[in-house]
């Protein structure tokens, strides 16, 4: 191999999208730091291997647990979201097939599994049936009587449009994803599984329809009653 051949090979390697990011495109105004983190997270998503899966996981994501292909079917582009909101990523229906990632994505020390799950959440919003969230009940309490709070912002969720009526909406599918990681991933670290378990419970709290909440619990083989549904008429 001569020097010229080697140079061409190196340039080709640099110019080609790496396997894990193949298919995803980035707007030119996304910073290198942000792009690098998103690419790293997409690689982590691609690498997840499950030895089994739940019924809802199969019906939502497909029997082969290929979360990346499911994501690519709905999202092909990443843009830079200049919003002042605290969101790490969001979807706008006027920009089909695109997730807007904000500076918060790398500003806060968020777990990897949470960051990639955010992509699944936003991708679910691309489907007409799951464009929007439902208002959380008011009051909305945990089994111990405490108000249900947003995990990161610590604000009470009661009355906020931050819940879903369906077990397979944007929050529910995050819960399905997290719990399948906990139960069936054979190449995830203990840290990833611990993060996923915490986030599973947060996602479950966002499914505030009693029947759908329990559908997600059953599918997840999870038996702790987190929410107090006793004085609620739904
Ligand atoms: Zn959402």
Residue 101 has pLDDT above 70, yes or no: yes
Which position has the higher pLDDT, 73 or 231? 73
3-state secondary structure of 126: coil
CA 63 and chain centroid, separation? 18
71 within some domain: yes
Q: What is the pLDDT of residues 59-92, one digit of tens each?
A: 999 999 999 999 999 999 999 998 767 789 999 8
CA 124/CA 71 separation, integer angstroms: 9
Q: Which of 1, 2, 60, 47 is nearest to 20 (CA)?
A: 47
- Under DSSP, the state recorded for 144 is T
CB-CB contact of 188 with 150 (8 Å)? no
Sequential DSSP letters for 58-72: HHHH-TT--HHHHHH
Q: What is the mean pLDDT of the chain?
A: 90
Per-residue pLDDT at 52 exceeds 90? yes
* Separation of alpha carbons 10 and 2, rounded Å: 12
* Ligand 1 center to 49 CA (angstroms): 26
Does residue 5 form part of some domain? no
CA of residue 10 to ligand 1 center, whole Å: 41
Distance of alpha carbon 116 from alpha carbon 46, whole angstroms: 10
| Gap from CA of 6 to ligand 1 centroid (Å) | 47
pLDDT at residue 19 greater than cutoff 50? no
Q: Is there a domain that residue 11 lies in? A: no
pLDDT band at 12 (very low <50, low <70, confident <90, very high): very low
Contacts of 31 (CB under 8 A, 6+ apart): 80
Global model pTM greater than 0.75: yes
Rounded to 5°, the CA angle 106-99-164 comes to 95
Task: Report helix angle 67-74 to 112-125, nearest 10.
Answer: 40
pLDDT per position as a tens digit, 117-175: 999 999 999 999 999 999 999 999 999 999 999 998 899 999 999 999 999 999 999 99
Evaluate whether residue 4 is within a structural domain. Answer: no
Separation CA 124–CA 20 (nearest Å): 21
* Residue 13 belongs to a domain: no
Q: How many domains does the chain have?
A: 1
- Please tell me the distance between residue 170's alpha carbon and the centre of ligand 1 in angstroms: 6
The answer to the question of residue 6 being in a domain is no
For residue 168, report the distance from its CA to the centre of ligand 1, in Å: 12
In a domain, 41, yes or no: yes
Residue 225 falls inside a structural domain: no
Residue-range definition of the domain harbouring residue 29: 19-220
């Amino acid at each position: 191999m001569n020097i010229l051949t080697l140079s061409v090979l190196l340039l080709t390697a640099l110019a080609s999208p790496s396997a894990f990011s193949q298919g995803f495109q980035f707007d030119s105004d996304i910073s290198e730091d942000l792009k690098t983190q998103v690419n790293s997270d997409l690689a982590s998503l691609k690498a997840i291997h499950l030895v089994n899966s739940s019924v809802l996981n199969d019906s939502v994501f497909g029997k082969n647990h290929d979360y990346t292909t499911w994501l690519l079917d709905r999202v092909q582009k990443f843009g830079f979201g200049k919003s002042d909101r605290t969101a790490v990523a969001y979807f706008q229906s006027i920009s089909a097939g695109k997730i807007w990632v904000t500076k918060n994505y790398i500003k806060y020390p968020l777990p990897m599994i949470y960051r990639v799950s955010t992509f699944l959440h936003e991708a679910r919003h691309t489907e007409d049936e799951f464009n929007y969230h439902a208002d959380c009940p008011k009051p909305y309490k945990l089994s111990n009587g405490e108000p249900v709070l947003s995990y990161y912002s610590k604000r009470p969720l009661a009355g906020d449009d931050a819940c879903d009526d369906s077990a397979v909406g944007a929050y529910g599918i995050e819960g399905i994803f997290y719990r399948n990681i906990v139960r069936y991933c054979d190449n995830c670290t203990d840290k990833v599984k611990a993060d996923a378990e915490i986030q599973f419970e947060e996602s479950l709290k966002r499914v505030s329809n009693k029947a759908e909440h329990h559908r997600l619990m059953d599918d997840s083989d999870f038996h702790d009653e987190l929410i107090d549904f006793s004085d609620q008429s739904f």
